[in-house]
Amino acid sequence: MGSNKVLSEAEIQEIEKQYDEIIRVCPRCQSDENKALIRKAFDLACEAHKEMRRKSGEPYIWHPIEVAKIVAEEIGLGTKSVICALLHDVVEDTDYTIEDMEQQFGPKIASIIDGLTKISHVFDKESSLQAENFRKMLLTLSDDVRVILIKLADRLHNMRTLESMPAYKQIKIAGETLFLYAPLAHRLGLYTVKTELEDLSFKYEQEAVYNDILQKLKETENKRVEYINKFSQPIIDKLNEANIDYTITGRPKSVYSIWKKMQNKNVPFEEVYDIFAIRVVFNPINSNPEKTQCWMIYSLVTDIFSPKPDRLRDWVSTPKANGYEALHTTVMGPEGKWVEVQIRSKRMDEIAEKGYAAHWKYKGDGADEGELDKWIKKIRELLTNKESSALEFLDEFKMNLFSSEIYVFTPKGQIKRLPKGATILDFAFDIHSAIGNRAVGAKVNHKLVGLSYQLQSGDQVEIITSEKQTPQKEWLNIVTTAKAKSALKTSFKAERRESIEKGQMIFIDKLAELNRKPAAPIYRKLFGAYGITTKSELYIQIGMGTITADDIKKIVLKRSQSKFVRYWQLRVSKTTFRFGKRISPKKDAEQKINKKIPLILAENINEDQYIIAKCCSPIPGDDVMGYITPNNSVIVHKKTCPKAIEIMANYGDKIVTAEWTKHKLMASLARIQLKGIDRMGLVNNVTKVISEELAVNMRAVSFESNDGIFFGFIELYIHDTDDLNNLIKNLKKIKGVDSVVRIEMND
């Protein structure tokens, strides 16, 4: 590296060691030619970044070095990718050009670095165009998937070093990672990367909850290890008897996946039943197919422990779209605990851990890469749809990322993959948009069904069409796939344009009759009257006849309301409730919000201004974040709210951290759910604890009993989460009450 005044001698020596470390962790970089190329890239990167340091204070070169190591060791890519990882910020941050890269390393490496340079600012700078930039990033899928894989490695290292960033940036970066990067890693088969991205994002989004689950995992670790050993021993004995070459390991469930299960099932940590899991990885015996050996091991396991019938997952016969192959079963272990058992060959295990990259290693063995290629082809189709906006594209893309899959058959026996929950219409559009547009029904397993019928794996489907059929607006509520939604929206776009043009002409003509011209006060009156927020929306409703010419006349000639009433109507139309000063939007917009310091959510309504989001109804004490609206007010969401996660991914530059002060005057509405064994006088005991002992006001109470089990819902006004947690603790003490949990206020 030569002498360097910017770096200390100790830093130079430490950096120099990293070259050997990169070579050590890269099995595909071992030839002399590859080592020489990596050395050349390593030296160039060190020279280019020698005067740069990260926010943490360490030399900047540590970042590309760590990204290169992730690319080689954790994703399993080769020499070209390692070189591109080392140089991924050089063109962006220094005087080197793409032409320099091509001259020194050839066109392929230059092309990948060019792709990385173009997307380097996708989410890393304060841009309000994250959705459009993400779309641009995915366009590189059509060039070289390695661009995305290196970008994922880059994001993983940024997440590992996120503690040096200010809090508002941590929330922004964690939100978009959870929203987009983790599912993208999952879809490309990078299970390990996906799990770590989820856990790190969760750590920064909800630190207290993350630490609580982590602590509980540590406290129960010894017991879990002891239990897994006890569970595994009879399986080990059986595998040894059968002369199978295998390894067996306990598979700890990630913090984020445990939390997700707690949320989805509405259960505490102690009731997440499949925290216990083991993985059996075997070396296949050449004479037997891997699939046969998977089922043989399954048979050995289920001879010892009874399987849960609805928890068998056969991804050996039909692999997932990302190439994942394995056999999963959940069995009843000792002490009445459910344990998940995963069975894989060594090849399946490597593909499961390293995803797309591992396919190349086995390509010569005839491994099927077709499904991943089909998925990438679908993404390209979405990307080339010029009609869809960036945010629409993002929604559609996420549908493709998150969906579980079913397998259905055409009348000729051709297999089609669709997301779980797909309907007849989705199937029709999957074949061709012309078939979808004319579909009137279908025969499923030779029985006539409607367009909204939800398909199941194994169904054989024949679409019935009619030349007289045209796409209907209600179909958007029936279809679930991105392809079907995109095709329908394209069909409706022309109709929408016609309605806008027609509505605008009617509007202008009517105003001319009244001797008025289109102006902001007139639009405001109409927006307030109909809960509309854009001119296009107004014109469409006029064009479709929802708002008539007479309606326009009545509203326009109506006396103006006070500023406050008009402002309040606009607020209510946006389904949010406002705590704060009753001031006009103009004054509101003049107030500047400093994103670098937390917004204090105080109780004093004469000073503070914020809006409580109705979608998640946070109460004082909840972990929250703020979204700065275009008129500079702040909407406060729970960090766990799906809308908040979407905002953090798409509008990271509009995020502000928020903290509650102690609220003792203003009460917030919360809802709790109770469950337990019914008995005489139980409801009376519950209401007495709430209203008399704790002096909490109730808004609504609902109880029902069935077969001796009661369910109850109570809406009540409380000051903060401390009061609510205290109430829940006291209610749990009542005889017969089995569980008390807070549930979302989303009505």
pLDDT digits (tens, 9 = 90+) for 703-741: 887 766 788 888 888 877 888 888 888 888 888 888 888
Can you give the pLDDT at residue 567? 45
Q: Is the pLDDT of residue 374 over 80?
A: no
663 within a domain of the structure (yes/no): no
Cα–Cα distance list, 643 to 67, 169, 172 (Å)? 31, 18, 14
Strands 668-677 and 709-718: antiparallel
Whole domain around residue 479: which residue ranges? 371-489
Mean pLDDT across 22-35: 88
Cβ contact 428:469 at 8 Å: no
Q: What share of the chain is helix, strand, coil (3-state, %, to 5)?
A: 55, 15, 30
Residue with tokens 């000063």: 581
pLDDT of residue 404: 67
Q: Poorest-confidence range of 101-115, 362-376, 724-738?
A: 362-376
Last residue of a domain, one of 361, 385, 403: 361
220 and 326 inside one domain: yes
**pLDDT, tens digit (0-9, with 9 covering 90-100), for 492-525:** 876 778 888 888 898 888 888 888 888 888 888 8
Mean of all residue pLDDT scores within the chain: 79
- 635 and 613 Cβ atoms separated by less than 8 Å: yes
Say whether both 53 and 199 belong to one domain.
yes
Q: Residue 565 above 70 pLDDT?
A: no
CA distance 550 to 531: 18
pLDDT at position 280: 95
* Catalytic pick among 73, 93, 132, 371: 93
Establish whether 314 is a catalytic residue: no
Task: List the beta bridge partners of residue 676.
Answer: 710, 737
pLDDT value for 69: 93
Residues 393 and 352 reside in one and the same domain: no
Instruction: Characterize 508-520 residue by residue with b for buried, 16 or more Cβ atoms within 10 angstroms of its Cβ, and e for exposed.
Output: eebbeeeebeeee
Query: What is d(CA 566, CA 572) in angstroms, rounded to the nearest whole number?
Result: 10
Here the CATH number for the domain that contains residue 104 is: 1.10.3210.10
Contact 368, 351 (CB under 8 A): no
pLDDT at residue 364 above 60? no
The total number of residues written for the chain in this structure: 747
**Mean pLDDT (whole number) for 316-335:** 85
Task: Give residue-wise pLDDT tens across range 595-630.
Answer: 777 777 765 544 456 788 878 888 888 888 888 887
Can you give the pLDDT at residue 574? 40
Indicate whether 163 and 60 sit together in one domain. Answer: yes
- pTM of the predicted model as reported, rounded to 2 decimal places: 0.61
Residue 366 lies in a domain: no
Whether 1 is covered by a domain: the verdict is no
Residue 359 banded pLDDT, cuts 50, 70, 90: low
What distance in Å separates the CA atoms of residue 623 and residue 637, rounded to the nearest whole number? Answer: 9
How many C-beta neighbours within 10 Å does residue 663 have? 18
- Give yes or no: residues 427 and 538 share one domain: no
Residue 688, classed as helix, strand or coil, is: helix
Helix (H, G, I), strand (E, B) or coil at 57: coil
pLDDT of 382 higher than 70: no
247 pLDDT band, cuts 50/70/90, is very high
Same domain, residue pair 14 and 92: yes
Evaluate whether residue 52 is within a structural domain.
yes
Q: Which pLDDT value is given to residue 583?
A: 36
In a domain, 148, yes or no: yes
CATH number, position 422: 3.10.20.30
3-state DSSP assignment of residue 726: helix
Place of tokens 């990882």: 85
**Please, are residues 330 and 307 in contact by the beta-carbon 8 Å criterion?**
yes
Instruction: Please indicate, yes or no, whether residues 477 and 399 belong to a single structural domain of this protein.
Output: yes
pLDDT at res. 368: 44
What are the backbone dihedrals phi and psi of residue 686, each rounded to the nearest 5 degrees, phi first? -65, -50
400 and 471 inside one domain? yes
Residue 142 reports pLDDT greater than 60: no
State which of 560, 591, 622 marks the end of a domain.
560
Q: Is residue 135 part of a domain?
A: yes
Q: Identify whether residues 640 and 691 lie together within a single domain.
A: no
Confidence at 294, pLDDT banded by 50, 70, 90: very high
Specify whether 420 is located in the same domain as 283: no
Residues 167 and 35 in one domain: yes
The reply to whether 195 and 300 lie within a common domain is no
CATH number of the domain where residue 695 is located: 3.30.70.260
73: which DSSP letter? Answer: I
Beta strand ranges found along 284-377 (DSSP E): 313-314, 327-332, 338-345
Domain count for the chain, please give it. Answer: 6
How many Å apart are CA 246 and CA 301, to the nearest integer?
A: 14
Q: Of 626, 658, 690, which closes a domain?
A: 658
Highest mean pLDDT among 141-150, 224-233, 493-502, 622-631: 224-233
Q: Is 92 a catalytic residue?
A: yes
DSSP state of 181: I
Render pLDDT for 681-703 as a digit per residue (tens, 0 to 9): 788 888 888 877 666 777 778 88
Which of the following is catalytic: 73, 92, 314, 588? 92
**Amino acid at site 312:** L
- Asked if residue 380 is part of any domain, the answer here is yes
3-state secondary structure of 696: coil
Question: Could you tell me if residue 3 is inside a domain?
Answer: no
